[in-house]
Amino acid sequence: SQTIHQWPATLVQPVGSPLSLECTVEGTSNPNLYWYRQAAGRGLQLLFYSVGIGQISSEVPQNLSASRPQDRQFILSSKKLLLSDSGFYLCAWSGNYVAGRGYEQYFGPGTRLTVT
Amino acid sequence: AQKVTQAQTEISVVEKEDVTLDCVYETRDTTYYLFWYKQPPSGELVFLIRRNSFDEQNEISGRYSWNFQKSTSSFNFTITASQVVDSAVYFCALSEAGANSKLTFGKGITLSVRP
C-alpha cells in the first residue's frame, strides 16, 4: 500500500530564515505530487505540482519554491520566510489518470509552520 | 474555469441528528470528477468519496450518503445519526478530466457535533 510522509510535523521559524519541508511517498512510482497551503480558518490553496522529476509548476507567485530531486520526493523551500508564510502545509500524491476515477489525491499528515 | 462553492461555513448539531453538507460546482467540461474530503482536528485530509460526471447514482456508505445531481450542479453529503467523531472540516473538490488536471477545493464546512 502507498504511504505519504511529511516532516517536520511542526516548525517555528523567525522571519527571514530559510525553510525546507520534505515530502516522500512510498509504494508507488512516478506519482504526481502537490504542495498545498491552508491558512488559519481558510481553504486549501495549491502552491506547486509536479508530474515528474525536475518538473515543477507553480500556481501562485510567492517567495516559496519547490523541487523534486527524486521520483518520490518533493521539497518545499524558501530563502527568507515572511509572516504571511505561516500556515498548514500539506503534501499530496496522485497516480496516473484513470478513466472513471480521474486523479484521486491522497494527503500527508501536514506540517504546521509558524513564522514569528 | 472550475469553481466549487460551499455556502455553509459552520454547522453545529446535536449528536444523532442528521446533517447535510452542500456543495455546488461550476465547470465547462462534460467529463469531471467530484470528491469529498474530511479534515479532522489532527489536520490530515481523509479521502471519503469520488464520483465521475457520468455516474449520477447516489451512494450510501454506512451513515454517509451522497446525492449527485447534474441538473443543479450539486454534490451534497449527508451524515445520518451524527456522532461526535464526525466533527471535522469537510471539503468538496472538483477535478476536470485530462492530463495534469488539478483539484479545485471549496472553502470547507466546519461541522461540530455536540454530545
Q: Which of the pair, B43 or A42, is modelled with greater confidence?
A: B43
Backbone angles phi, psi at A115, to 5 degrees: -100, 125
- Nearest CB among A49, A59, A107 relative to B45 is that of A107
pLDDT at B99 over 60: no
Interface of B with A in 29-48 (CB under 8 A): 32-33, 35, 37, 42-47
- Cβ contact, residue pair B98, A106, below 8 Å: no
How far apart, in Å, are the Cα atoms of A39 and each of A43, A45, A114, B100?
Answer: 7, 9, 11, 25
pLDDT at A87 over 60: yes
Chain B closest-CA separation from residue A17 CA (Å): 25
pLDDT at B49 over 70: yes
- How large is the average pLDDT for residues B35-55? 90
Chain A closest-CA separation from residue B113 CA (Å): 18
What's the rounded Cα separation, in Å, for the pair B5 and A11? 32
Taking contacts as CB-CB distances below 8 angstroms, the residues of chain A near B57 are none
- Cβ contact, residue pair A97, B99, below 8 Å: yes
Measuring CA to CA, which residue among A27, A14, A8 is closest to residue A76?
Answer: A8
